[in-house]
Amino acid sequence: MVATLKQRWREFRQGKPGKRFQDYHERRHQGGSSLMRALRLGLGVLLLLVGLVLMPAPGPGMVVVAFAAAMVAGESLIAARCFDGIELRVRALLRRIRG
């Protein structure tokens, strides 16, 4: 299981910025039952809400939000496109800040 997670993380990191979440979504939708997809989407949304509540606490909030975002993006193309857009905006903001 750990090896599978590492492999998925490597594939995600190697993806083109602005297209990573959509590529992940496409890989996730190569088979699988619709019931499992709905359960993963529901769990992802629940974790996203928990992560937002934990945001003021140091540490765990960002990790939970990032994990939940990946789960939701894997099940929803609209969410995947939104997260890709957010990634591009954050990268542009960081470039401006760094000069």
User: Domain map of the chain by residue range?
Assistant: 18-98
DSSP state of 15: S
Average pLDDT, the chain: 87
pLDDT for the residue numbered 82: 93
Which one-letter DSSP state was computed for residue 16? P
Per-residue pLDDT for 30 more than 90?
Answer: no
In the block, which residue shows the tokens 């190697």? Answer: 14
pTM equals 0.72
Are the CB atoms for 54 and 60 separated by under 8 Å?
yes
Looking at residue 5, its pLDDT comes to 79
Tallying the residues shown for the chain, one arrives at 99
More confident position, 58 or 73: 73
- pLDDT at residue 31 above 70? no
